[in-house]
Amino acid sequence: MTSLKAITFDLDDTLWDNSGVMARTETGHYGWLLEKLPAWLAERRWPSWELSVEAGLEDYLKRRQRLATDVPERRGDFTWLRLRALEAQLEAQGLPRSAAALWAAAAMNEFHRLRVQVTPHPEAADLLAALGRRYRLAAITNGNIHLKRHPLSGYFPVAIAAGELLTPKPDPKAFLTALARLDVAPQNAMHVGDSWEEDIVPANQLGMHAVWISEARSTALPEGVHQIAHIKELPGVLARLNAPY
């Protein structure tokens, strides 16, 4: 019998497929900005906006990449990178600093509104509800989804945004913070995630059980690491560990 007391979950591409929502959020919040801004500039008789959506998005991405290199401790804090990149782009287009800050914040508000519109795997809510009756649950994400506004947030009494803590996974600090807040030793906890480097390697090194969600063909997995293709197979891993579900 395994004395499993807590389960921590990665979010993106573990509890939902993230690719569609990221693409929609990226073009959606930037398109919103370029739709709203021209009238505001015209009202003030300020020079009109020159960048197209395509050129603007490309410049926005380059600014984020440059910032992540120049301020490496912020490389995983995607909300900060976006906010600063947008402010700089707006200023470069001639907006005064205060107006640039205002519009960058408004665009990021739109970003977060779109970013939480994820569609969890249909089995996820029932699975988390059942697990929550037996285990302490936490979410540990490198992404910048709003931790209180996403559709499964209610199942996680502990939720850690590792990038905003400036210690993105695979840094063990986010795991240790979650374990401390759950009051559980690593050997009594399990982490579930889709990234070998960011989820499985650090959890395994800490001595946690680890469940890798991947369709990759793997032969020899390290001790304590299990592989499933989909979150719905997690009860099978618990059964193999003799852990209740």
Place of tokens 């992404």: 143
Stretch of 6-14, 58-66, 112-120, 121-129 lying at the interface with Mg ion (CB under 5 A): 6-14
Expressed in percent and rounded to 5, the helix, strand and coil fractions of the chain are 50, 15, 35
Q: Is the peptide bond before 170 cis (omega within 30 degrees of 0)?
A: yes
Kindly tell me which residue out of 4, 12, 135, 136 binds Mg ion, with binding defined by CB under 5 A.
Answer: 12
Closest C-alpha to 4, from 104, 161, 137? 137
Binding to Mg ion in span 92-121, by CB under 5 A: none
Distance of closest approach, residue 206 Cβ to Mg ion, in angstroms: 18
Kindly tell me which residue out of 10, 77, 87, 164 binds Mg ion, with binding defined by CB under 5 A.
Answer: 10
Q: Are 44 and 94 in contact (CB under 8 A)?
A: no
Angle made by CA atoms 223, 229, 233, in degrees to the nearest 5:
85
Torsions phi, psi of 96, nearest 5? -65, 155
Distance of closest approach, residue 137 Cβ to Mg ion, in angstroms: 16
Sheet-wide strand order for 158-161? 158-161, 136-141, 6-9, 189-193, 209-213, 225-228
Q: How many residues bind Mg ion (CB under 5 A)?
A: 4
Residue placing its CB nearer to Mg ion in the complex, 12 or 164:
12
**91 counts as binding Mg ion under rule CB under 5 A:** no
Partner residues linked to 228 by β-bridges: 213
Q: Are 174 and 162 in contact (CB under 8 A)?
A: yes
Question: x/- binding map, residues 169-208, to Mg ion, per CB under 5 A?
Answer: -------------------------x--------------
**13 counts as binding Mg ion under rule CB under 5 A:** yes
In angstroms, the CA 186 to CA 8 distance is: 11
Distance of closest approach, residue 229 Cβ to Mg ion, in angstroms: 15
In angstroms, the CA 26 to CA 41 distance is: 23
What's the residue count for the chain?
A: 245
Distance of closest approach, residue 13 Cβ to Mg ion, in angstroms: 4
Residue placing its CB nearer to Mg ion in the complex, 33 or 127:
127
Distance of closest approach, residue 93 Cβ to Mg ion, in angstroms: 34
**21 counts as binding Mg ion under rule CB under 5 A:** no
Distance of closest approach, residue 162 Cβ to Mg ion, in angstroms: 11
Positions touching Mg ion (CB under 5 A) are 10, 12-13, 194
